Amino acid sequence: TSSDSKRASKLNLKCEIEFAYSVVDKGETPPANSDACSVKTTVTRASSILALGEDAIGKKLYLFARWTYTKHPKSSGAFSTAVSMGIA
């Protein structure tokens, strides 16, 4: 929002952020959608660190995210398109 744009924020206390992601070797086929990802996790904080471990170095991360509502799960959003990045 305009009042907290200099720091991480999320919608409200009843919201969580769900991540679906896979770490794959470069050149491997990426996951087509969130259902094809090998890991799904939920975070309750606006800022979070994804600890992938040393085995992930040199591979590629494909990540999908969405807002989920704990009080009204059917109102949760759809997963985003994939964000991909190399892991150094």
pLDDT at 71 over 90: no
Residue 1's pLDDT is: 47
Output DSSP code: residue 46. Answer: S
pLDDT at 10 over 60: no
Is pLDDT larger for residue 78 or for residue 14? 78
Q: Which of 26, 44, 24 lies closest to 36 in space, CA to CA?
A: 24
- What average pLDDT score do residues 30-38 get? 96
Strand order of the β-sheet with 60-69 is 39-43, 15-24, 60-69, 83-86
Is pLDDT larger for residue 1 or for residue 70? 70
pLDDT at 3 over 90: no
